[in-house]
Amino acid sequence: MSDTLSPTSSTAAVPSAPPLDSRATRLRHFWADYRRSPAALLSLLVIVVLLVLSFGAPLLAPQDPYDMAALDWLDAFLRPGEVGSGGYTHLLGTDNAGRDMLSAIFYGLRTSFVIGLSACALALAVGIVVGLTAAYFGGRIEAVLMRVVDLQLAMPAILLALVLVAILGQGVAQIILALVVAQYAYFARTTHGAAKVERGKDYIEAARSTPLSTGRVLFRHLLPNVLPPLIVVATVQVASAIALEATLSFLGVGLPLTEPSLGSLISNGFKYIHSDRAWLSIYPGLFLMVTVVAINLVGDQVRTLLDPRRAT
Amino acid sequence: MSLLTIDHVSKRFTRPTGAIVRGLEKLRGQTPKRTVHALTDVSLEVARGEVLGIVGESGCGKSTLGRIVAGIYAPSDGAVTLDGAPVARESRGTVDKLTTRVQMIHQDPFASLNPRMKVGETIAEGPRQHGLIPAPDLRDRVAALLSQVGLEPAYADRLPHQFSGGQRQRIAIARALAMQPDLLVLDEAVASLDVSIQAQVLNLFLDLRRDLDLTALFISHDLSVVRHVSDRVAIMYLGRVVELAPVAPLYDAPQHPYTQALFASVPRLGEGRARFHPIKGEIPSPLDPPPGCAFHPRCPFAGPRCRTEVPRLKPHDSRAVACHLHDGGTGATTGTSEAA
């Protein structure tokens, strides 16, 4: 038989592979599909604008709310559009200490983004390690790790975060730590579920029987194949982390007003919600709502596009 | 001196059960069997340069045997050694493979390649990790391997989904060869391919075998494929080797009743009317293997001795058979044993 079919003829019989799909091309396809949803496109635009406003706050905001010396009691409770002693218009008015609300919201948004993004990134890293370890090694390690995760998921995240902040104290780092502890469980569960499926596939067995080191099997083979569902969870969790932080600050255990976040601004204005100064709560609340809704809409679209059952 | 020695290897799989389930079963007074006897007392030797075919129905333990030889599972009893050194070691429930000299090629090339890794990296990562090829030479070596298995070297930068099944199986072969193995384990390596592609991959295997002096364990359920590539063949049934013989005498005159039945069950062309003799009965459950000879419930020659005593694999000339017919009779009253 080896005479009838020589290796050279077998080479010629192999059909040539389809043209190369590079990473850049795949990204371009993804973007083309993403653009088809106007809501998702608008949300992305909103997020970009909010990111620029918040991280550009030191350049864009008329006032530095961290600088207590810049605050003037005489400027307290100016209505939106009034001109204060600084000689500029307070577009969103001022609060009880004479803080320019627009500036405070920009800075507060920055705090919210920093906390939301870094808490999510850390929770993602912890969740990946926990989930991969549990799925790969199985047995007792898996039982212990995943039972802890299940226990945590059974508790409301806000309750856990409240207790942790009460123990750890106030401050950006403490809040991030509390959010990581409250949120890693979602990432761990998603990673575990996806990794458990991939773990049983032949390419993992092939990598193990080469043999490749455990670290390489985990992070070069298993991890890239469980990443798509994690990206979806991560976008949604950023929004949820921002909302959680705002809730903590609103309840008074988060950040102090001298270091404003959206939550503490809403909380500060809440005292006047029944008066004609309700804007003190409403404006930061609107910014929070728009941010969270926009991130969730982007996450929804990413989920739709990454769904393996979606026909392409 | 044989390269690979499989010495009295058994493998049992036990379904793990929690304490609560065990307690409930104890209360009810019934404990279901949950140990699968996948392999029982298998001893085989493979000489350097030899291809040993392993044949049997699904569930006979041939894939388990391949995985034990490839260091993916550790045997429950017995040992698998390559030039006297163990292939794998089990410690605290995980199996550590100790050698790079045995490499495996899986059945399904759509599952055995990491879908998110470029095939060049898939081929290169093993030798890189074990320092088999100096880093500057890796790219050239990957290119050489790809052309050796009949693919273009430029394909190294592509992902698995851009290849057909036959091409993927070639990539899997290149990955195995990159580790410069002494022994290849091919587990149904062509079973999932179209017949025309099967022929190409088999020819590739035969060419590589000739060029590289490969030793291989060729596992398949396909009698004609095994005949084509093997020097010797082991027939397995329910976790045991029932017959072991060089290809020519085995295919000319199978000795064990199971081997005879297996050969008879292959549909043949050109004999006028359809001749197709399936083996009667079903393969017994490996959870609860029958006593004595595992084949006796389906064997037309079974006698009383077959129901109680396990036949041993007895050598006859160059071959070996595990059957009482060839080892003092089945214990049946009159000459049924001559019917073999």
Per-residue pLDDT at A13? 40
Task: Tell me, yes or no, whether A94 lies in a domain.
Answer: no
Q: What's the mean per-residue pLDDT of chain A?
A: 84
Burial class (CB in 10 A: 0-12, 13-18, 19+), B331: middle
Residue ranges and CATH numbers for the domains of chain B are 2-101+181-254 (3.40.50.300)
Task: Tell me, yes or no, whether A88 lies in a domain.
Answer: no
CATH number for the domain that contains residue A123: 1.10.3720.10
What is the percentage of chain A residues whose pLDDT exceeds 90?
Answer: 42
CA distances from B244 to A10, B218, B239, B257, B313 (A): 33, 14, 14, 13, 8
Among the residue ranges A55-69, A70-84, A141-155, B24-38, the one predicted with the least confidence is A70-84
Per-residue pLDDT at B273? 54
Task: Tell me, yes or no, whether A41 lies in a domain.
Answer: yes
For residue A55, give the nearest of A108, A2, A12, A99 by alpha carbon: A108
- B interface test, pick of A2, A225, A226, A306 with most B CB neighbours within 10 Å: A2
Residue B200 identity (one-letter amino acid): Q
Per-residue pLDDT at A10? 40
Phi, psi of B81 (to 5 degrees): -125, 145
pLDDT above 50 for B70: yes
Residue B117 identity (one-letter amino acid): M
Task: Tell me, yes or no, whether A260 lies in a domain.
Answer: yes
What is the percentage of chain B residues whose pLDDT exceeds 70?
Answer: 94
For residue A127, give the nearest of A154, A104, A145 by alpha carbon: A145
pLDDT above 60 for A8: no
A46 close to A294: Cβ distance less than 8 angstroms:
yes
Total number of domains in chain A:
1
Task: Tell me, yes or no, whether A183 lies in a domain.
Answer: yes
Range of the domain at A300: 37-58+100-306
User: How far from chain centre, in Å, is Cα A178?
Assistant: 15
Per-residue pLDDT at A29? 84
Per-residue pLDDT at B266? 76
pLDDT band at A9 (very low <50, low <70, confident <90, very high): very low
Residue A2 has its nearest CB partner, among B114, B125, B203, at B203
Could B93 and A205 be called an inter-chain contact, meaning their C-beta atoms sit closer than 8 Å? no
Please tell me if residue B150 touches chain A, with a CB cutoff of 8 Å.
Answer: yes
B 251-310 near A (Cβ less than 8 A): none
Q: pLDDT of B97-148, one tens digit each?
A: 999 999 999 999 989 999 989 999 999 999 999 999 898 899 999 999 999 9
Per-residue pLDDT at A15? 43
Q: pLDDT of B280-297, one tens digit each?
A: 777 888 888 888 899 998
Per-residue pLDDT at B272? 53
What is the rounded CA–CA span in Å between residue B191 and residue A140? 37
pLDDT above 90 for B215: yes
Per-residue pLDDT at B175? 96
Per-residue pLDDT at B270? 61
Per-residue pLDDT at B276? 58
Per-residue pLDDT at B336? 45
Per-residue pLDDT at A18? 44
- Counted across chains A and B, CB pairs separated by less than 8 A come out at 102
Q: pLDDT of A120-169, one tens digit each?
A: 999 999 999 999 999 999 888 999 999 999 999 998 888 999 999 889 88
pLDDT above 50 for B317: yes
Could B96 and A211 be called an inter-chain contact, meaning their C-beta atoms sit closer than 8 Å? yes
Per-residue pLDDT at B111? 92
Please tell me if residue B172 touches chain A, with a CB cutoff of 8 Å.
Answer: yes
pLDDT above 70 for B93: yes
Residue B104 has its nearest CB partner, among A20, A206, A220, at A206
Per-residue pLDDT at A11? 41
Among the residue ranges A49-58, A226-235, A255-264, B262-271, the one predicted with the least confidence is B262-271
Q: pLDDT of A185-206, one tens digit each?
A: 999 999 999 999 999 999 999 9
Chain A: give the shortest CA distance to residue B113, in Å.
5
Residue B70 has its nearest CB partner, among A7, A18, A209, at A209
pLDDT above 90 for B59: no
Task: Tell me, yes or no, whether A80 lies in a domain.
Answer: no
What is the rounded CA–CA span in Å between residue A187 and residue A130? 9
pLDDT mean over B28-39: 81
Could B206 and A2 be called an inter-chain contact, meaning their C-beta atoms sit closer than 8 Å? yes
Q: pLDDT of A24-36, one tens digit each?
A: 777 888 888 888 8
Q: What's the mean per-residue pLDDT of chain B?
A: 88
pLDDT band at B277 (very low <50, low <70, confident <90, very high): low
B 79-138 near A (Cβ less than 8 A): 93-94, 96-97, 100, 103-104, 106-108, 111-117, 125-126, 129
Chain A: give the shortest CA distance to residue B158, in Å.
6
Inter-helix orientation angle A223-250/A279-306, to 10°: 170
Task: Tell me, yes or no, whether A4 lies in a domain.
Answer: no
pLDDT band at A22 (very low <50, low <70, confident <90, very high): low
Please tell me if residue B159 touches chain A, with a CB cutoff of 8 Å.
Answer: yes
Taking CA–CA distances from A224, the nearest residue in chain B reads B116
Please tell me if residue A310 touches chain B, with a CB cutoff of 8 Å.
Answer: no
Task: Tell me, yes or no, whether A158 lies in a domain.
Answer: yes
What is the rounded CA–CA span in Å between residue B192 and residue B171? 15
- A interface test, pick of B87, B116, B168, B226 with most A CB neighbours within 10 Å: B116
B3 close to B183: Cβ distance less than 8 angstroms:
yes
Could A1 and B199 be called an inter-chain contact, meaning their C-beta atoms sit closer than 8 Å? yes
What is the rounded CA–CA span in Å between residue A152 and residue A164? 13
Higher pLDDT among residues A68 and B211, named by residue: B211
Residue A189 identity (one-letter amino acid): R
What is the rounded CA–CA span in Å between residue B283 and residue A94? 84
Per-residue pLDDT at B248? 93
Q: What is the DSSP letter of A94?
A: B
Per-residue pLDDT at B315? 84
For residue A268, give the nearest of A189, A40, A260, B238 by alpha carbon: A260
pLDDT mean over B72-84: 93
CA dihedral A301, A199, A118, A171 (to 10 degrees): 130
Q: pLDDT of B140-173, one tens digit each?
A: 999 999 999 999 999 999 989 889 999 999 999 9
